[in-house]
Structure 1
Amino acid sequence: MDADGTTPPEVADKLGKYAVGARIVLGGARADTGQTPKTTVWTKNKARLYRYEPEQPKEHAVPILMVYALINKPYILDLMPGNSLIEHLLAEGFDVYLLDWGVPGDEDEGMAFEDYVLDYILPATKRVLWTSGAEGYTLFGYCMGGTMAAIYASLFPGEPLRNLVLLTTPTDFGPEGTGLLGTWTREEYLDPDLLADAFGNIPHEIVDAGMQMLRPVHNYVGTHASMWERIVEEKPMETWLAMNKWVNDGTPFPGAAFRQWIRDFYQQNKLARGELKLRGRKVDLANITCPVLNIAGEKDHICTLPQARATTDLVSSEDKEFLVLDAGHVGLMTGRGARQSLWPKVSGWLAERSA
């Protein structure tokens, strides 16, 4: 403090920047996310099916139904204006829908994959067709949502399913390709029944901690180092705030689905082996014959390349492409290169197959 009792400008500036960072660390990041205008066209339990309002007249006859994972929230697909795959697809003349699972309550702990695939995705596809007036649709799945989309496509192949887009989607959970996550979920280390019996739905804090521990230095140290760097050097904070909010905005993992995800997928690899059944119906990815765009991130530590690459070999489609981008699991969608790589690739590939 100066002799006259005032704080020097440079000190006030440093204190102000410190206050900004402290508020984020203590109170969490705040950002306006998922801002693209939309309307709800169908509901069931906690789930909502949204139709996004087009920015221009529809140019493509085939609508897109997006399906995200059961954990975290789907606004990663519509993070913020200027950083939104959904916004991009609308600008390219597509009719876009999103199935939002919502936040499960204690009464939903018995929800399993057969419930989500057969009782939610199936009627959602019918509502998309009814609302759009289209004769076919594209199914777009991201992460676990892609796994569910692939399962659905195998059970309901052919028309009206026109295209299948899978983004960082694991289908082969063999131990040689699942990395550290596969090691942690081995039967001798993890009993999913114990967790599900104890909690019902698995709290998102437990799931988040597991995901962050896959890269602890980056997630626990690097994230905040990046925050302070941006604050001190007065770099733009909007995208960082939106991403940090999303990362920490998880949802509980429904207990029954968690049991299946660990035991049937990670521990027993039933999907790739053709042994997975939903209500007695065998799931065989070889049933899929529609065009498939399968995209993976070379730096993805959650869905590794072997886990995603297997889909291309398992499906029977003649028109199929496996694309590897130089990005991680989330950076592939919202990182600096997404506008130049992922978004135009998806819209261009679909434009050729959505007449």
Structure 2
Amino acid sequence: MSQTPASSNESLSHVLGAAAARYTGGLSPYAAWAAMADWATHLATSPAQQFALGETARKILHDWTDYIARDDAPAPFRPKADDHRFAHPDWAKPPYCYWHQAYLGAEAFWEAATAHQPGVDRRNSDRAAFMARQLLDMASPSNMPALNPEVMHRLIETKGMAFAKGLELLIQDARQASDPKAAPSNGGLTVGQDIAATPGKVIFRNRIMELIQYSPATPQVHAEPVLIVPAWIMKYYILDLSPENSLIRYLVAQGHTVFVISWVNPTEEHRDISLDDYRTEGVMAALDQIGTIVPSQKIHACGYCLGGTMLSIAAATMARDGDARLGSVTLLAAQTDFTEAGELLLFLDESQIAFLEDMMWEQGYLDRTQMAGAFQALRSEDLVWSRAVRRYLMGLEDRASDMSAWNADATRMPARMHSEYLRSLFMENRLSAGRFAVDGRVVALKNIRVPMFVVGTEKDHIAPWHSVYKIKLFTDADLHFVLTKGGHNGGIVSEPGHAHRHYRIGHRVPGALYLDPDSWMAQHAPQEGSWWPEWQSWLADHSGAMVAPPAVPDALCDAPGTYVFQR
């Protein structure tokens, strides 16, 4: 059947957009140009802003020249608390301190230059600031061998062999990047043996997921099972890393029957799988299977990151339809409102999504490397440049860890599902606004009446805790909120015994007045240790008597299954 002129033109547009995306890493040049034009135009027509920036530049230059002219002058500029590029003591000595301070002065100037100004769209000014940071991170003296004292020391110590080792690592990484099917670098850790090694069986499989049931570790178990719904952007075993920091193993050891969804790693043939397919063939199919193994029992459902967003949609739909199978809902670093979704919003507008859709139209999916690039850009000074300096200039291999092995093992996302997710949730924020429809009828988070346990992490760049906290605005169920130390992954993987960990916990009873997140934080003192025992105790309190472990049905294979190995 021949294409109509309209469909032919649309295909040509997709082809051209996809070709452009290959050269920009999937980032829309139109969005970047619009942001810079908005910022630059308003700056060019604002004498007051120009004068203020001139004064800022004059003061920065004065402070820097005064510092290099006087031996006893204190350093005028300090790196941010999480910026470790200049931690080596020789950065405080001449001549390294001169360009180190010049660089930090430039950072201070551009931070002032891209601060929000009247008339500029706030997202555009944030994008301008982000792009300025990217360019500054690229130009840092820490990236240049002759200007970095740590690199020079390493070269002297190794008699230049650090460069040879760095070149070897660069070639190795380039080969792996060129082969999308290549196994990720795992630091010698093997999935199914060293990580993702909690004993269990795959009891169900469909085109979207495998369902794993873990073997009991106690003579009796809590009657109500736990279903874990991880994000489909990651392999599930972030919650089953090494035995000593596996959340799944911990729950099993505390007498819980645990099930987890292991998502498929999509290929071109999955391009038309929808967001709702992940609900029906993922969450709901898992609940159906668990119901046949543990009949007549409530199920404690737990969702992590995007898995928590999907679980929220499923729970709201079940509440609307009178499906009472859930005993509780736990959300780990999961957003239900996306108006404060952090710096990821810098990558999203109509132009950017259309650009991604062109790329996914050609591939059928969003590739793991394309998504990983966006996350790395949020902390490029550490995840990109500092790593490149250590690896390629100093010849130091990445420190092997279960977290780094998992982080290198990303997944793809089906084109249709990802487009629907970005548009309906990130762009249009339908879920918390009461405009998200399932089967043609709107669902509401407020209909969720089961107890809730919600966890946010203090330094989350993916799901900022203020955004996670907003679930309190849209529900009225009995709710415990935990704020734990760490980032999006490290804060969740916070096992008992992990040094220097703390958390805050509060209880919101149904009908209580709303308390804003900063006031909540001020009123809840940190407690030392891991939040895991708090959750386990909460699950136990919302469970019935201990019973004999349920039988495991005929298994398809041993855990961790087959989908987890897909490249």
Q: TM-score range by the shorter chain?
A: 0.7 to 0.9
State the secondary structure of the residue aligned to 1:196. Answer: helix
Describe the shift of the 1:123–1:246 C-alpha distance in structure 2 as closer, same or farther (beyond 3 A).
same
Q: Is 2:262 the counterpart of 1:100? A: yes
The answer for unaligned runs of 5 or more in structure 1 is 1-9
Cα distance in 2 for partners of 1:124, 1:184 equals 33
Q: Which amino acid aligns with 1:186?
A: D
Describe the shift of the 1:49–1:227 C-alpha distance in structure 2 as closer, same or farther (beyond 3 A).
farther
Name the larger-Rg structure: 2
Q: Which of the residues 347, 350, 372 maps onto 1:184? A: 347
Q: Deviations over 1:285-307 (max 9, x none)?
A: 11100000011011001001232
On the 8 A contact 1:294/1:312 being kept in 2, the answer is: no
On the 8 A contact 2:208/2:281 being kept in 1, the answer is: no
The answer for unaligned runs of 5 or more in structure 2 is 1-156, 177-184, 503-527, 545-567
Q: Deviations over 1:70-104 (max 9, x none)?
A: 11100101011111000100111000000111211
- Matched positions, count: 333
Q: Deviations over 1:149-197 (max 9, x none)?
A: 01000011262200100000011111xx122211211224432432322
Q: Deviations over 1:87-137 (max 9, x none)?
A: 100111000000111211211111111111123211211211221345110
Q: Is 2:407 the counterpart of 1:243? A: no
2:367 matched to which residue of 1?
Answer: 203
2:493 matched to which residue of 1?
Answer: 334
Cα distance in 1 for partners of 2:171, 2:473 equals 45
Q: Is 2:453 the counterpart of 1:264? A: no
On the 8 A contact 1:62/1:134 being kept in 2, the answer is: no
Q: Which of the residues 308, 313, 334 maps onto 2:473? A: 313
Could you tell me the percent identity over the aligned residues? 27
Q: Which amino acid aligns with 1:219?
A: L
Q: Which amino acid aligns with 1:341?
A: S
Cα distance in 2 for partners of 1:94, 1:171 equals 27
Q: Which amino acid aligns with 1:180?
A: E
Describe the shift of the 1:211–1:39 C-alpha distance in structure 2 as closer, same or farther (beyond 3 A).
same
On the 8 A contact 1:294/1:323 being kept in 2, the answer is: yes
Cα distance in 2 for partners of 1:251, 1:312 equals 31
On the 8 A contact 1:168/1:303 being kept in 2, the answer is: yes
On the 8 A contact 1:113/1:278 being kept in 2, the answer is: no
Describe the shift of the 1:22–1:334 C-alpha distance in structure 2 as closer, same or farther (beyond 3 A).
farther
Describe the shift of the 1:203–1:352 C-alpha distance in structure 2 as closer, same or farther (beyond 3 A).
same
On the 8 A contact 1:54/1:90 being kept in 2, the answer is: yes
Deviation at residue 198 of structure 1 after TM alignment: 2.7
Q: Which amino acid aligns with 1:350?
A: L
2:253 matched to which residue of 1?
Answer: 91
Cα distance in 2 for partners of 1:312, 1:59 equals 31
Q: Which amino acid aligns with 1:204?
A: R
Q: Is 2:519 the counterpart of 1:343? A: no
Cα distance in 2 for partners of 1:48, 1:118 equals 14
Q: Deviations over 1:208-260 (max 9, x none)?
A: 111111111221245578899xx98xxx95xx432112111111111111101
1:303 matched to which residue of 2?
Answer: 463
Q: Which of the residues 471, 484, 488 maps onto 1:325? A: 484
1:4 matched to which residue of 2?
Answer: none
Q: Which of the residues 297, 317, 321 maps onto 1:155? A: 317
1:213 matched to which residue of 2?
Answer: 377
Cα distance in 2 for partners of 1:94, 1:61 equals 8
Cα distance in 1 for partners of 2:441, 2:170 equals 51
Deviation at residue 51 of structure 1 after TM alignment: 0.4
Cα distance in 2 for partners of 1:88, 1:225 equals 37
Larger CA deviation: 308-317 vs 91-100: 308-317
State the secondary structure of the residue aligned to 1:262. Answer: helix
Cα distance in 1 for partners of 2:332, 2:171 equals 31
Cα distance in 1 for partners of 2:254, 2:171 equals 36
Q: Which of the residues 332, 335, 346 maps onto 1:170? A: 335
Cα distance in 2 for partners of 1:219, 1:211 equals 9
Q: What's the TM-score once normalised by structure 2's chain length?
A: 0.55
Q: Which of the residues 44, 50, 58 maps onto 2:206? A: 44
Structure with the larger helix share: 2
On the 8 A contact 1:312/1:321 being kept in 2, the answer is: no
2:101 matched to which residue of 1?
Answer: none
Q: Deviations over 1:52-72 (max 9, x none)?
A: 112112331110000011111
On the 8 A contact 2:169/2:391 being kept in 1, the answer is: no
Q: Which amino acid aligns with 1:351?
A: A
Q: Which amino acid aligns with 2:337?
A: D
Describe the shift of the 1:224–1:196 C-alpha distance in structure 2 as closer, same or farther (beyond 3 A).
closer
What RMSD over aligned residues (CA atoms) do the two structures have, in Å? Answer: 2.8
2:562 matched to which residue of 1?
Answer: none
State the secondary structure of the residue aligned to 2:301. Answer: strand
Deviation at residue 342 of structure 1 after TM alignment: 2.8
Q: Is 2:414 the counterpart of 1:254? A: yes
1:129 matched to which residue of 2?
Answer: 291
1:29 matched to which residue of 2?
Answer: 186
Describe the shift of the 1:224–1:162 C-alpha distance in structure 2 as closer, same or farther (beyond 3 A).
farther
Cα distance in 1 for partners of 2:199, 2:221 equals 19
